[in-house]
Amino acid sequence: MTKEPLQYLRGFRNEFHSEDPRCPGSLPTKQNSPQRCPYGLYPEQLSGTSFTSPRETNSRSWFYRIRPSVLHTPFKKLPLGNLSTNWEIFEPNPNQLKWDPFDIPCVGDKKVDFVQGLNTVCGAGDPKDRHGIAIHMYLCNASMEDKCFYNSDGDFLIVPQQGKLWITTEFGKMIVEPNEICVLQQGMKFSVELKGPTRGYILEVYDNHFVLPPLGPIGANGLANPRGFLTPVAWFEDREVCNYTVINKFQGRLFAACQHHSPFDVVAWHGNYVPYKYNLSDFMVINTVSFDHADPSIFTVLTCPSTKPGVAIADFVIFPPRWSTAENTFRPPYFHRNCMSEFMGLIYGAYEAKEDALQPGGATLHNTMTPHGPDSNCFEKASNAQLVPEKVGEETMAFMFESCLSITVSDWASKTSQKLDVSYPKCWQNLKKMFSPELMSLNKATSGYLLSPPRGI
């Protein structure tokens, strides 16, 4: 774990270049693969898209490393643990689902590192077809020792909930803590150090890479600004290791290979296919200043687009502290049935629509077309509140993974974890029938129908 503050490069999908200051001039100029690289380094390209992808979406980076990545023993299959990708073996469940905070392994019982602590909650699709998503919890208490991981199936969007992550990548080092996120894209090797019990959420996408959502009428500025995204600067270690383990997630399975050196031996690199992190407090919220509750799409930080315009394989949406000023409006999220699936988590605080239900480290899932909305307490409170400007979500950060795919829940999430709250649907059962034609009158001042007592009462 580094004690010195880390440096980063700013921007999203920029063409970056970086070299470790211990080896000045290690980055070749004018070309990618000279006959002889400075310092006797090996050139190696990491491609995030096909060679012939359009220039505006083409992603790749060039490494200049002490040894090429190919220098390892053959991969051998590892136990899968609680990871899942075969959704056909699980029973579908259209109910509203909620989980209490998932347990973190006790340090005194067994050492569990980041990879060993991966547990699949739900998902859809197939990594072999490069179509689909998976949602995981990482529950760990120990650092990865002489071990790294890379995902051949897709990108990891990591949302820490408890405990910092010291992440070493081939590009350099970064520290990611609660209220920050990071994205480790397909094929990028990384190792995670931590201190004490650590928990968080992961959204894995197979189809594509995350991009910033289009802003449309919002204009040039707003939501997550590109300058808020940080990429590590080059850092290398030339370290001989007796048995260094490289774990590869491939077609939903885990494999391990051995090598005799650290994989983090990249002295210099350049390109636009990089890992990055983002502080959620940098998000510029857009909201209504007149009436009605705006759709949650205005809170989208990153999106992984599908082939259908405007439809996401996955969106990452947050609900940060913000001002609410809507007039004549039910301000919390409205009752809703959605063609998208919605998985919600809570980093800290209390979610405004379910203050007593959703807890930090827990989750909810409202699948395709499953009705959901504020619980009875929230509805009663918001229906009778004085509509003055107020700050909502203070000391709170909730988020949502939203997908166009119909999601299947794993046995680990529904049974093994023992965290599924079967009483969750009861939070709506106290919603009362309030319909009464005798009490309806047209209120022209607000151009809508409001409940008001008839004359003579």
17, 261, 293, 380: the catalytic one is: 293
342, 380, 394, 402: the catalytic one is: 342
Helix (H, G, I), strand (E, B) or coil at 208: coil
Q: What angle do CA 275, 276, 279 make, to 5 degrees?
A: 160
What phi, psi does 438 have (nearest 5°)?
A: -65, -20
Contacts of 272 (CB under 8 A, 6+ apart): 13, 14, 15, 16, 59, 60, 61
136, 204, 372, 402: the catalytic one is: 372
Q: Could you tell me if 405 and 132 are in contact, meaning their C-beta atoms sit under 8 angstroms apart?
A: yes
336, 380, 394, 438: the catalytic one is: 336
CA distance 126 to 357: 32
Q: Could you tell me if 62 and 238 are in contact, meaning their C-beta atoms sit under 8 angstroms apart?
A: no
- Whole-Å CA distances, 239 to 3, 111, 217, 235, 371: 20, 24, 52, 13, 55
Q: Could you tell me if 421 and 100 are in contact, meaning their C-beta atoms sit under 8 angstroms apart?
A: yes
CA distance 409 to 120: 8
Active site residue 366: yes
Active site residue 342: yes
The DSSP code for 414 is I
Active site residue 293: yes
Q: Which residue has the tokens 């590192």?
A: 113
Q: What is the CA 443 to chain-centroid distance, rounded?
A: 45
What phi, psi does 217 have (nearest 5°)?
A: -65, -15
Active site residue 145: no
Contacts of 17 (CB under 8 A, 6+ apart): 27, 268, 269, 270, 271
131, 209, 270, 366: the catalytic one is: 366
Q: Give the number of C-alpha atoms closer than 13 A to the C-alpha of residue 119, restricted to the C-beta side.
A: 23
Q: Cα-Cα-Cα-Cα dihedral of 311, 313, 319, 322, to 10°?
A: -40
Q: Which two tokens stand for residue 415?
A: 């049974």
Q: Could you tell me if 193 and 144 are in contact, meaning their C-beta atoms sit under 8 angstroms apart?
A: yes
Candidates 410, 419, 434; CA nearest to 93 is 410
Active site residue 17: no
CA distance 330 to 379: 8
Q: Which residues are catalytic?
A: 293, 336, 342, 366, 372
